[in-house]
Structures are given as C-alpha cells and as structure tokens.
Amino acid sequence: MAIERTLSIIKPDGVEKGVIGQVVARFEQAGLKPVAMRMAHLSRAEAEGFYAVHKARPFFSDLVKFMTSGPVVLMVLEGESAVAKNREIMGATDPAKAAAGTIRKDFASNIEKNTVHGSDSLENAKVEVGYFFREIELHPYEWKKA
C-alpha cells in the first residue's frame, strides 16, 4: 500500500443536482484528501483531449457534449491506494450495475451522466492530474480530524 494521488471530476450532472458537498464528504470520510480543487467549464478541445483514449468509441461525441454542457469540479484526491479507493467509492460506470452506497448508485442518472470521473490506474492518474493541475497547484496538508 502506498499514498497515491488520483484525479476526480464531479461532472456537470453532479454539479446541477447540487451534490458537490455530498460527493466531497464521501471522499473525506473514506480517507481521500482533496489536495487540489477548482471549478471549470471545459471547452470542447479540453474535453476531447481529456477523453482522447475514447476517441474511437461510439459515445465519444455525446460524452464531449455532456462534459462541456456545464461547469465541473476538478479535484486531486490523495490517500492510501487512492486510485482504487476512489473507483470503489464511485461505483460501476453504469449506475444500474453500481453497488449500493456508491456515488453513482445514489446520484447518477445513466451510464453517460454518471456524476463522477476517476482515474483508472496510477499511470493514468499521473497523466490526468497533470492535464489539469500544475505541481504548485497541489496543496498537501495533514488532517487533524475531530
């Protein structure tokens, strides 16, 4: 086990449903510490670049349209096994298949509008964090939780 960093995005549907706070609370409660956070309204080029690995998939243009439809929250989460832990808290891509108590089960509308993004490997996490954040925009700190 090791301390890792992973990229999390609260997608436009999550922002519009008013669950930013609830999503962040779940991460904090699970030991995933936000060390960078900002809102953005992605341009088409930014969304296409971020999802470049999915360029050949049939849902790519709809995905880009959705991800640029409204503001998102970009976050870097830090913690023990952060990449896998975040994926566990998020739940399966399709909310209908997501486990009880996961973010996608509780908040997502469908397989596209599924509330959150999370890096799927440590290697991709490094690329995705670097896509949106510079090193000086990451702010590590110690928790002194009550």
Size of the site for Mg ion (CB under 5 A): 1
Cα–Cα distance, 28 to 23 (Å, whole number): 9
User: Should residue 43 be labelled a site residue for ligand IDP when binding is judged by CB under 6 A?
Assistant: no
User: Residue 55's binding partner, choosing from Mg ion, ligand IDP, none, with beta-carbon cut-off 5 to 8 A by kind?
Assistant: none
Provide, rounded to whole angstroms, the least separation between the CB of residue 144 and Mg ion. Answer: 34
Cα–Cα distance, 50 to 82 (Å, whole number): 20
Strands, sheet with 3-10, edge to edge from the N-terminal-most edge strand: 33-40, 72-80, 3-10, 116-118
**Which of 73, 59, 99 has the alpha carbon at shortest distance from 14?**
73
Q: Cβ–Cβ contacts within 10 Å for residue 86, how many?
A: 26
User: Should residue 17 be labelled a site residue for ligand IDP when binding is judged by CB under 6 A?
Assistant: no
User: Residue 104's binding partner, choosing from Mg ion, ligand IDP, none, with beta-carbon cut-off 5 to 8 A by kind?
Assistant: none
Which segment (14-22, 27-35, 36-44, 112-120) binds ligand IDP by CB under 6 A? Answer: 112-120
Of residues 62-121, which lie at the interface with Mg ion (CB under 5 A)?
A: 120
The answer to whether 117 is a known catalytic residue is: yes
User: Should residue 131 be labelled a site residue for ligand IDP when binding is judged by CB under 6 A?
Assistant: no
User: Should residue 137 be labelled a site residue for ligand IDP when binding is judged by CB under 6 A?
Assistant: no
Using CB under 6 A, pick the residue from 93, 96, 121, 131 that binds ligand IDP.
93
Q: How far is CA 144 from CA 33, 39, 77, 141, in A?
A: 12, 26, 17, 10
Q: Active-site residues: which are they?
A: 117
